[in-house]
């Protein structure tokens, strides 16, 4: 059993309030959780309006499945938010 972990750092220049940011974060996390059955949470920069940092974790049986799921999640995030992906970190533990 392995843990596939990802961190996305996103930039949303049109966001001017924490309320706007919260709507974007909640929507993206709900979509990720429903589609991939992963754990997702905002893990940093909670008080910064335009920067979103989301951590995602999934239990996987092997490295091949971990890589596959992380590729799918990366594509999904890119397609389901208007925010620009500044950084993406992947780790298999």
CA distance 32 to 34: 6
Convert the pLDDT of each residue in 42-77 to its tens digit. Answer: 999 888 889 999 999 999 999 999 999 999 999 999
CATH fold label, 2-92 = Alpha-Beta Plaits (3.30.70)
Convert the pLDDT of each residue in 77-90 to its tens digit. Answer: 999 999 999 999 99
Give the global pTM: 0.89
What is the token pair recorded at 11?
Answer: 């930039």
DSSP character at residue 1: -
């Amino acid at each position: 059993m392995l843990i596939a972990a990802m961190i996305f750092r996103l930039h949303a220049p049109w966001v001017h309030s924490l309320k706007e940011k919260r709507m974007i974060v909640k929507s993206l996390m709900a979509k990720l959780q429903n589609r991939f059955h992963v754990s997702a949470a905002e893990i940093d920069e909670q008080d910064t309006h335009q920067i979103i940092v989301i951590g995602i974790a999934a239990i996987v049986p092997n490295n091949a499945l971990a890589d596959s799921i992380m590729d799918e999640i990366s594509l999904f995030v890119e397609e389901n938010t208007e925010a620009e992906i500044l950084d993406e970190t992947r780790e298999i533990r």
